Amino acid sequence: MKNLHHASIIRSALIACTLMIGTLASTYSASAQSRQALATVNIPFTFHIGDQTMPAGMYRIDLVSNHVVKLQGPDHAVGSVAMHNASKSFASDHGIIVFDRYGENYFLRQIWTAGNKDGLESWQTHIEKNTLQANDSKSRSSTQLAFDSTPRQ
């Protein structure tokens, strides 16, 4: 009787583990499918996204959720940043990524996809605010890079 009870417990545990693994696998698959590839772009300078510093190089830009953008670059560099909606009065023929520049420091500001008046914009981080103050409140300049709107897999 005791062996039957143990066998029943083990069987129940195996079924629960199988269900959990299946649930995790389907969640991972669904989240991978919800990721939207936005672009590939060569960024020729070191830059900041959020609190992260990213090296110069070729990047793949993915929209992970409605407002979270993930950048994957050289040497396994990965960064993500929450952004908010932005809009402009005209749509560009190509994708554009915009950086605010203070001296030698670049900060990701906006991402615009080709043919779209709606884009994404990042908030000013404390690192960017500190950099602005350190540069004696000099006005920022903007650097725009065109990108390939059909990213390579």
Q: Where are the alpha helices (DSSP H) in 35-153?
A: 126-134
**Interior angle at CA 14, CA 10 and CA 18, nearest 5:** 170
The encoded tokens of residue 40 equal 């590939």
Distance CA 65, CA 34 (A): 7
What pLDDT, on a 0 to 100 scale, did the predictor assign at position 92?
86
pLDDT for the residue numbered 9: 59
Encoded tokens for 80: 């993500």
Alpha-carbon distance of 33 to 64, in angstroms, equals 10
pLDDT value, residue 21: 47
Q: Full-prediction pTM beyond 0.75? A: no
Yes or no: say if 60 and 152 are a contact pair by the CB < 8 Å rule.
Answer: yes
pLDDT tens for the chain, 153 residues long, are 555 555 565 665 445 444 444 444 444 434 444 578 888 999 999 999 988 999 999 999 999 988 899 999 999 999 999 999 999 999 888 899 999 998 889 999 999 999 999 999 999 898 888 888 777 656 678 899 998 765 444
- Pair 39, 116: CB distance under 8 Å: no
Model pLDDT, residue 26: 42
